[in-house]
């Protein structure tokens, strides 16, 4: 039997695509397309494809919202000895954010900082640390040795990062600098007690005629005892007499200066301490009142009116602490993060204070200064 000819064999005004009168070995595409069932199937396929594309688009648009809704925001509890009004807080917070950003974290969207302020009252630190533990923050950040010791007593499981600890091995914060061994690590503020001796040498260079020097220290600061001893060693080497005066709080600072004024003291070394930092303006005023050239362990003391500071960078330490926060939030164990130590120290001299004291800073010392406050 012959195959039927295509109905499109003689289209009006043209020729068949398969040749006039040719027999079809396969169905003509035009015929198939015109067949009602085929048209219906084609329409259904188009609708199904269109529906699938729309569904994929909707899912793609909804995915970022779902991912955002499910993203965990980590919480860092920041235990401070100072108060929120302290101008150093915003600068330190920005340094912490910088360290977190270096680890790929963004504050607010990834991490939040929750502050607890002791406002200069060390007796409040234990309760504030306990409050952070109860709040179940992911990491606790502290600045000073005192705050770190309090936080360490409050928890042995929540990671703790310190930024300004003095002698962390000697005071029992960590087992060793290379392998801290517990839930505490961070950045040491003083590489060793010899820093106190170096500060006295610089002060003696600035005041060559001074023969008696006082050192202001806080016996509640576990890191201060070795610093006082090192200052005594340096004093003997320099041939100057040294007297140590204690101060645990604001009232004690005034009492210490009153006692210093009763003796023939020509200059003063103020050790790095959270209490002294909180009251740095008051200490600078008392030193000026008693006409005492003084050297401090933080440049913020010189900015507050103190004569000199020989110090690592407080803000760089907080930045490096922020890096450690980021590493711990990614799963690193504090026990495996070595305690970092400062490697660069800066000499800052307040020239306005020197002028007010009638003090001429030797040119050689000025040349070695990293910063002069005019």
Residue 115 vs residue 63, higher pLDDT? 115
Of the chain, the percentage scoring pLDDT greater than 70 comes to 80
pTM for this prediction: 0.74
- One DSSP character per residue, 171-225 reads TTS-S-SS---SSEEEEEEES-THHHHHHHHHHHHHSTT--EEEEEE-TT-TTHH
Among 14-28, 38-52, 241-255, the range with the most confident prediction by mean pLDDT is 241-255
Phi, psi (5° rounding) for residue 113?
-100, 125
CA 201 to chain CA centroid, nearest Å: 32
Give pLDDT, residue 170: 86
Q: What mean pLDDT is predicted for residues 286-296?
A: 97
Please say if the pLDDT value at position 21 is more than 70: no
Give pLDDT, residue 193: 65
Choose among 361, 252, 251, 241: nearest CA to 307: 361
How are strands ordered across the β-sheet holding 308-311? 241-246, 212-217, 267-270, 294-296, 308-311, 346-350, 371-373
* CATH for the 194-313+345-373 domain, from 3.40.30.10, 3.40.50.2300, 3.30.365.10, 3.30.56.10: 3.40.50.2300
- Return d(Cα 368, Cα 22) in angstroms, integer: 104
Per-residue pLDDT of 59-89, as tens digits, reads: 555 544 444 445 789 999 999 999 999 999 9
Give pLDDT, residue 343: 77
Give pLDDT, residue 196: 84
59-63, 105-109, 303-307, 360-364: which range is least confident on average? 59-63
Number of Cβ within 10 Å of residue 285's Cβ equals 15
C-alpha dihedral over 30, 34, 35, 41, to 10 degrees? 100
Please say if the pLDDT value at position 195 is more than 60: yes
Please say if the pLDDT value at position 237 is more than 80: yes
Q: Which fold has domain 74-191+315-336?
A: Rossmann fold (3.40.50)
C-alpha dihedral over 13, 16, 22, 27, to 10 degrees? -140
φ/ψ region of 358 (left if φ > 0, alpha if ψ in -120 to 50, else beta) reads left
- Return d(Cα 133, Cα 123) in angstroms, integer: 17
Q: What mean pLDDT is predicted for residues 112-118?
A: 95
Per-residue pLDDT of 146-191, as tens digits, reads: 899 999 999 999 999 999 998 899 889 999 999 999 999 999 987 6
Per-residue pLDDT of 129-142, as tens digits, reads: 999 999 999 999 99
Are residues 188 and 168 in contact, defined by beta-carbon separation less than 8 angstroms?
A: yes
Among 107-121, 162-176, 180-194, 200-214, the range with the most confident prediction by mean pLDDT is 200-214
Give pLDDT, residue 14: 47
């Amino acid at each position: 039997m012959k195959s039927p000819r295509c109905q499109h064999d003689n289209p009006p005004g043209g020729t068949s695509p398969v040749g006039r009168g040719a027999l079809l070995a396969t169905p003509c595409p035009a015929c198939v397309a015109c067949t009602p069932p085929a048209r219906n199937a084609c329409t259904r396929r188009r609708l199904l494809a269109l529906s699938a594309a729309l569904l994929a688009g909707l899912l793609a648009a909804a995915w970022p919202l779902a991912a955002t809704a499910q993203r965990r925001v980590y919480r860092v509890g920041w235990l401070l000895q100072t108060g929120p009004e302290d101008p150093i807080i915003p600068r330190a917070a920005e340094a912490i954010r910088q360290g977190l950003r270096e680890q790929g974290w963004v504050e607010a969207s990834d991490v939040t900082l929750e502050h607890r302020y002791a406002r200069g009252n060390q007796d409040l630190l234990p309760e504030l640390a306990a409050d952070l533990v109860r709040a179940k923050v992911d990491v606790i950040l502290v600045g000073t040795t005192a705050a770190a010791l309090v936080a360490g007593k409050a928890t042995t499981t929540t990671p703790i990062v310190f930024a300004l600890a003095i002698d962390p091995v000697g005071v029992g914060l960590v087992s060793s600098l290379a392998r801290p061994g517990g839930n505490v690590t961070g950045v040491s503020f003083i590489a060793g007690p010899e820093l106190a001796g170096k500060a006295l040498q610089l002060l003696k260079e600035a005041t060559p005629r001074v023969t008696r020097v006082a050192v202001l220290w806080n016996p509640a600061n576990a890191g201060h005892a070795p610093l006082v001893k090192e200052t005594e060693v340096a004093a003997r080497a320099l041939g100057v007499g040294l007297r140590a005066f204690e101060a645990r709080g604001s009232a004690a600072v005034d009492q210490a200066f009153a006692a210093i004024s009763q003796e023939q003291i020509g200059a003063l070394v103020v050790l790095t301490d959270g209490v002294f930092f909180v009251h740095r303006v008051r200490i600078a005023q008392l030193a000026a009142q008693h006409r005492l050239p003084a050297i401090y362990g933080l440049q913020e003391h010189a900015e507050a009116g103190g004569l000199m500071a020989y110090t690592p960078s407080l803000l760089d330490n907080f930045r490096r602490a922020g890096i450690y926060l980021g590493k711990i939030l990614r799963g690193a164990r504090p026990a495996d993060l070595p305690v970092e130590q400062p490697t660069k120290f800066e000499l800052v001299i307040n020239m306005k204070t020197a002028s007010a004291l009638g003090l001429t800073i030797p040119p050689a010392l000025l040349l070695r200064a990293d910063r002069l406050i005019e």
